[in-house]
Structures are given as C-alpha cells and as structure tokens.
Amino acid sequence: MPEALWIALPFVAALGSGALSFIVARGRMKVKLAQERREQDKVRLELFLQVRSARERARAAEMEAGRKALDEVLSEIHVEERHFIREAVSGSERRQCLVLQERVCFRNTPLTHWIERELQTGDRPDPGLRLLPAAGRQKRPAEIPPVRKSRPRLR
C-alpha cells in the first residue's frame, strides 16, 4: 500500500495544483471582467452624455433658427397709414373730419383692407393734409372690390 500511495501522490498533487490554479485564474478573470464592465459603464455614460448634449445643442439650434425666421417674418410685417381731411357739405352746413386709414402689409402685399377712422376737426384744415371733395363722391374702402389674381390655365 505505501507503494501505491507514492505512485498516487504525484497525481493527487497535480490534481490539487490544477484545481488551485483553476480557482486563481477564475478569480483573476472575474476581477478583469469587473474592471472591463466598469470601463464599459464609464464609456456608456460618457457616450450618453455626449448624445444628450448633442441633442440639446441641436434643439437649441433649431429653436434659434425658428426664432430668427420668426423675427425676420415679423420684421417684414408693417402697418401702412395714411390720413387726410374730408370735407362734407350738406345743405348750408360744412363739416370737416380727419380720416385715418390703416392696413397691415407683409412686405408690399396688403393683408387687410383699409381700416378707416374719422375724427371730427374744427373748421380750419391742417395745411399739411390734402383736401378731398365731399364724402359723397369718395369711394369708401368697403365698396372697392378686392383684387383677384387669375391663374393661367393649363391645357
């Protein structure tokens, strides 16, 4: 029996050292795997932050472009104003009123009709304003037909 023990002892030692080296290698692999996962998490977090900041910059750039476009459009909308004195003669009575007209335009295209307001003035007209004939001869803006653009017919 002692001879069999001496023969089996190197196999048992080899088996034990193999099991021990397997356990140590497995431990090292777990440590390396944990380190790789930590690095991977850091890279994922960095990538996520970069994507989020890129999206925020893109959204901010879109909003800025939208604001600039809106400002450009709004800068091209203006109100045209004109005023004159209208003299209305009815029988022996003579009345003068200041007529203020306004309309909203985009570039040179009117968006609304003329909106008219009349303010009663005294008998003396302002020299800087034009005198127009009596209101009966003046066409009112509501009576002026709108301009219609015709489309070319395709054949």
- pTM of the predicted model, to two decimals? 0.45
Sort 122 into a burial class: Cβ within 10 Å, 0-12 / 13-18 / 19+: exposed
pLDDT at 119: 87
pLDDT at 122: 64
pLDDT at 141: 46
pLDDT at 130: 53
101-140 pLDDT tens trace: 999 999 889 999 999 998 887 655 444 445 554 444 444 4
Radius of gyration over alpha carbons of the chain, in Å?
46
Q: Supply the mean pLDDT for the chain.
A: 82
- For residues 110 and 101, give the distance between their C-alpha atoms in angstroms, rounded to a whole number: 13
